[in-house]
Chain A
Amino acid sequence: MTVKAMIDEWYPVGLLSQLDLKGRKTALMDEPIDVALDADGNARVTGGNGRTLPVRVRYGHVWASLGEPKKELFDIPEADQPGRRFVDVGVVRVRCSPLRAVENFLDIAHFPFVHTDILGAEPHTEVQNYKVEIREEEDEVWATQVKFYQPQAAKSASGGITTEYMYRVPAPTCSVLYKTCPPRPGEWDVITLFVQPLAEDLCDVWPWMALFDDESSMTDLIHFQQTIFLQDRSILENQIPRLLPLDPGMEIPTRADLTSVAYRRWLKRHNYTYGAQLVAQ
């Protein structure tokens, strides 16, 4: 485990809409932190030794870093696009590695078995070839042309369709998913997974969405996403080992897992190993 390389990254630590003066005690990579509003109404995050941490407020969430971020918080251009509805899904705690939570989000092959009759269903289990790359300029992992048959792809979908996905990993514990938007062909719905690493084997997950959907109520949208994520939670808490194995040999990837292969390679390259297991045990 190395904290070092990941310490300068940005992490979600709370929902802006739920902050108050009293504050919220939480943790970031084993360090207790406090997230609160100050007298001027600005978000303030305090580290374990009382120091004030760098803060950003974006995508409905408060972001903080324990170190000195060398990069600005990653951009999601769709967050400023008119006509989208922004959905704060709320926090869910999971007893798993933050990296395992992200990797599961990048996976489509589990849809028929874990999100049965919503995001997938037998016999439509085949994963077609798709494209994966590490984009050097942005330093992000991208998977594109990911296609999967889905019985109910979104709250706004009725009946089965083949959905197209694009995945993006802009930070070690964050992923952005672009997905065919049933009511608006040509546009992409944006669904994100922001993961706050509390410890190497414990995380708070903050899903967030920017959707084109004028029909569904906000509560329906929240419940749809909570349903999906809670179906994953019981998987994530039962993977052995808890930490994500970065060395080959411990787990067996196939062609369907190329996004995960690239993600693991990218983590290793940057020494993003908080929540990872390096030596096969």
Chain B
Amino acid sequence: MKLYDYILSPSCYKVRLMASLTGVKLDIRPVDFHPGTEHRSPELLALNPAGSIPILEDGDLVLTESSAMLAYLAAKAAPEWLAGSRPEEAARVQQWLSFSGRLTASLGGARLHEMLLRPGDIGALQTQGVAALRELEAGLFEQSMRGMRFLAAERPTIADIACFPYVALAPDGGVSLDPYPTIRLWSRAVRSLDQFLEMPGIHRLHELKPEPHVEGSEA
């Protein structure tokens, strides 16, 4: 399975993270998105005329939407990441998968503007980003009242992976995460998952490892 990947892209990171969590080995093909704009090269446009990355290629299956890639990885390797048989759960997974597109447009747009100097109305992008974060905070709070720590169930699903990256990287676009206690708890739960993978801008949870022991002491 080949992933056309950019290390700083949160959408590409969704796929790398999902692969790591589900134990799928990806063949990574780095794309010089910045500064080279290779995603708009003839070779990549031939694969994805929309000119976006990630692109996931497996035999003659070519996927260009990250949510579809998450569903594919989960279906192949770890179906417990998909929705179960309860209609509410299935609906919530779809709800948040669709919602993740709004995170990409708002928080992702703000991040590209603030970090890589891409054009955009930064004020509007940040306002939309805050609105999306508030919805997510409220949604996660309501889930916690139902005894569920994640967006669609007590266990994490592809919906959590679809939403996590742009949320965790919101500060890159000048949108603070300070006002969202429930998002903080959820983000921590995601980052504590076994085989969790970081990307630049999301630091290691150093507390998961014990303090190294040092012998001797000088004053």
Direct contact of A and B (CB under 8 A): yes
Is A116 part of the contact surface with B, judged by Cβ < 8 Å?
yes
CA–CA, A17 to B35, complex, Å? Answer: 10
Given A95-B174, A217-B30: A223 touches B7 (CB 8 Å cut-off)? yes
Is A93 part of the contact surface with B, judged by Cβ < 8 Å?
yes
CA–CA, A125 to B209, complex, Å? Answer: 15
A71-123: which residues lie under 8 A (CB-CB) from chain B?
Answer: 88-93, 95, 113-114, 116-117, 122-123
Is B206 part of the contact surface with A, judged by Cβ < 8 Å?
yes
Given A95-B174, A226-B8: A90 touches B30 (CB 8 Å cut-off)? no
Decide if B172 touches A90 in the complex (CB within 8 Å): no
Decide if A233 touches B31 in the complex (CB within 8 Å): no
**Which one of B117, B200, B212 lies within 8 Å of A230 (CB-CB)?**
B200
CA–CA, A125 to B212, complex, Å? Answer: 10
CA–CA, A95 to B115, complex, Å? Answer: 9
**Which one of A18, A123, A217 lies within 8 Å of B35 (CB-CB)?**
A18
Contacts of A233 in B (CB 8 A): 115, 172, 200-201
Chain B residue at smallest Cβ distance from A218: B32
Decide if A223 touches B30 in the complex (CB within 8 Å): yes
CA–CA, A124 to B141, complex, Å? Answer: 40
Chain A residue at smallest Cβ distance from B198: A116
Is B134 part of the contact surface with A, judged by Cβ < 8 Å?
no
**Which one of B7, B34, B174, B206 lies within 8 Å of A113 (CB-CB)?**
B206
CA–CA, A278 to B84, complex, Å? Answer: 60
Contacts of A90 in B (CB 8 A): 34-36, 116
B182-217: which residues lie under 8 A (CB-CB) from chain A?
Answer: 198, 200-201, 203-204, 206, 209, 212-214
Decide if B115 touches A92 in the complex (CB within 8 Å): yes
Contacts of A231 in B (CB 8 A): 200-201, 203
Give the shortest distance, in Å, between A179 (CB) and chain B (any CB): 20
Contacts of B172 in A (CB 8 A): 233-234
Is B101 part of the contact surface with A, judged by Cβ < 8 Å?
no
CA–CA, A236 to B8, complex, Å? Answer: 17
Is B38 part of the contact surface with A, judged by Cβ < 8 Å?
yes
Q: Interface residue count for B (Cβ, 8 Å)?
A: 27
CA–CA, A18 to B212, complex, Å? Answer: 47
Is A220 part of the contact surface with B, judged by Cβ < 8 Å?
yes
Chain B residue at smallest Cβ distance from A220: B30
Contacts of A237 in B (CB 8 A): 171
Is B57 part of the contact surface with A, judged by Cβ < 8 Å?
no
Decide if B7 touches A122 in the complex (CB within 8 Å): no
Decide if A116 touches B31 in the complex (CB within 8 Å): no
A229-279: which residues lie under 8 A (CB-CB) from chain B?
Answer: 229-231, 233-234, 237
Decide if A122 touches B116 in the complex (CB within 8 Å): no
Is B137 part of the contact surface with A, judged by Cβ < 8 Å?
no
A18-41: which residues lie under 8 A (CB-CB) from chain B?
Answer: 18
Given A223-B7, A227-B7, A230-B8: A91 touches B35 (CB 8 Å cut-off)? yes
Decide if A116 touches B30 in the complex (CB within 8 Å): no
Decide if A230 touches B30 in the complex (CB within 8 Å): no
Contacts of B213 in A (CB 8 A): 123
Give the shortest distance, in Å, between A232 (CB) and chain B (any CB): 9
CA–CA, A220 to B38, complex, Å? Answer: 13
Is B89 part of the contact surface with A, judged by Cβ < 8 Å?
no
Contacts of B198 in A (CB 8 A): 116
Decide if B36 touches A219 in the complex (CB within 8 Å): yes
Contacts of A230 in B (CB 8 A): 8, 115, 200-201
Q: B residues near A, CB below 8 A?
A: 6-8, 30-32, 34-36, 38, 114-117, 171-172, 174, 198, 200-201, 203-204, 206, 209, 212-214
Can you give 12 A-B contacts (C-beta < 8 A)?
A18-B35, A113-B206, A116-B198, A217-B30, A219-B30, A219-B31, A222-B32, A229-B200, A230-B8, A231-B203, A233-B200, A234-B172
